[in-house]
Structure 1
């Protein structure tokens, strides 16, 4: 028996199938690109001023610029609102009264009775009461007002800044006569010391510019006698206590009169 070998030839088909993904064009060469349109910003209901909504920044477009905002806000005949100077931060905020009813001042401090003899350039211990009935009593430690107040404000022509008086260790619940006299005395000394330091700084600055000296120049030593002399020059002849009176324009403020 004779065996013959047979050869089998496999030929791949000429036409091949193309696998198309879902969503892809059937003919890639003929596909046209799609333009991307960003989503519109969300519309929120809120009050509008000058055509611009008072909502948060997410409602503004991505190309928002300050120049466009100012042009959009004040376009055409519109103008910014006027500035009211009498309102905050340019105006004073009225505070409620510290005491509900009328306030009576101690007769030793009042300008009506004028029973206090005091040189405001001297310590409060030198003050004297001219009322013979109260002269030998603890009148310095009496309450300055009735009803009692824990703080009050004093203005005077001698000083530019108001004097704020607080209740001290003499009586924690009320401002006393001593507290007021001591506050006026220390306010005068503080004003002249501050003015002396300011003039010394100006003089030192001019010397540095002239002599090109950058070394630290400390404040000169000032004795208590020097301070008294400066206080005397500061107040001049108006140095004697003439009493307190209520202010007609400011509530809870007292005016100090000197003669």
Structure 2
């Protein structure tokens, strides 16, 4: 069996290793999230070029003997450097990487999420005004891949359809709670009917280049941004910030 394998994917995070090497956290088509060593990656003019940069979709060749795989070479398939044009696009692009790195388990294959990241990077370039709704939708898709997609139409306590009245969201129970059941429950996230409708519409909207996003005021999306961040943090057992908080940090995490 050959010790050389190839795969394509993106870089989630890098860290220094030794004097000139890097440990690279990748999200690839065949293996999902895993780590590999890029020897000499910190040297000027190294053989990897921009294949290990953020916002690069690359094909990698690995050598595995014992321990962590070695990245032998990287070949760029597509660059999304246009995301560096504005701080909002830059941070939105990095936020996708942050979410996958923090809550997605190692060695779990998920090609659809990889493809979705590539689609969203392209959409961020074309539709900057849609970034916040798309980030809400992305975290819901991550929750689906993890098997913890929330119930958004029926009360998780009484199983009646939630319509026409303000309701709540239970992060621990994993979904919406009707007004009647909400009077007896604790630690609930208030959710106005309009916010619930926007959330349901986001789920029903296929992600693609021609996507027509549900209309809603910015305040509704800001509330949903906080909600889905808290929900995914709880279910993924790893704290992730909401995007508004993420914007307040330094560029390039």
TM-score in terms of structure 1 length = 0.26
In terms of fraction of residues, the more helix-rich structure is 2
TM-score of the superposed pair, with normalisation by structure 2: 0.26
The structure with more radius of gyration: 1
Q: Which has the higher strand share?
A: 2
